Amino acid sequence: MKKDIILAGVGGQGILTIATIIGDAAAVAGLSLKQAEVHGMSQRGGDVQSNLRLSTDEIYSDLIKEGEADLIISMEPMEALRYVTYLNKEGWVATSSHPFKNIPNYPDEATLMQELNALPHVAALPIEDVAKENNMPKSANVILLGMAARYIEILTPEQLRNSIARVFASKGEKIVEMNQQAFDLGLNAVK
């Protein structure tokens, strides 16, 4: 079994944390893992994208070809659409529905959401609003990971939840619990 995932967003939104949690869970599960270089992370507000490949067999390349991604996990709807050509026919998009308008000519929001909702398999949620409403404004990325957990399939939601505990352990039990609650919010938001 394999799962090819594209992580997308804007610098400072927590894409690297999502990659770390998935990577930790994959390592503990004994899966093969390859991750391509993340672009744009040195600049807060710049485009961030990463290829994450998980498999029960050996992986030889860290890059995902167009038309072969199983899942796009995106912190930003325009960034999700930027990589939609990489999705396979059965692929899913898990994304925030709230735009991060970091460029002056950002597309019309209604048109953007119409394009996104025209895709066959989309889970979209205003994760930033959900995070604020639940007093966890820095955990929107973990809410998004919870949304995407059902579509990762090669790892169970419980394996990802356990990984959250390991990744955030150095920050204390309160932070671990808050991020696990954020994950559960996202997981329970999609059916």
What pLDDT is attached to residue 171?
96
Q: Using one digit for the tens of pLDDT, what is the confidence trace for 49-101?
A: 889 999 999 998 889 999 999 999 999 999 999 999 999 999 999 999 987 77
> For strand 32-35 and strand 47-55, is the pairing parallel, antiparallel, or unpaired?
antiparallel
What pLDDT is attached to residue 138?
93
Residues 109-133: what's their mean pLDDT? 93
Q: Is the pLDDT of residue 45 over 80?
A: no
Amino acid at 152: I
Per-residue DSSP letter, 107: P
CA pseudo-torsion sign 170, 172, 178, 184: positive
Q: Is the pLDDT of residue 2 over 90?
A: yes
d(CA 80, CA 137): 21
Q: Is the pLDDT of residue 13 over 90?
A: no
Q: Is the pLDDT of residue 178 over 60?
A: yes
Rounded to two decimals, what is the model's pTM?
A: 0.92
Angle (deg, nearest 10), helices 140-152 and 173-189: 50
Confidence of residue 23 (pLDDT cuts 50, 70, 90): very high
* CATH fold of the domain at 2-189: Pyruvate-ferredoxin Oxidoreductase; domain 3 (3.40.920)
Q: Which residues pair with 55 in a beta bridge?
A: 2, 32
d(CA 52, CA 56): 14
Q: Is the pLDDT of residue 42 over 60?
A: no
Neighbours of 162 (CB within 10 A): 18
d(CA 188, CA 123): 12
What pLDDT is attached to residue 121?
96
Phi, psi of 96 (to 5 degrees): -70, 145
Tell which wins on pLDDT, 48 or 145: 145
First to last CA, the chain: 23
What pLDDT is attached to residue 110?
86
Confidence of residue 12 (pLDDT cuts 50, 70, 90): confident
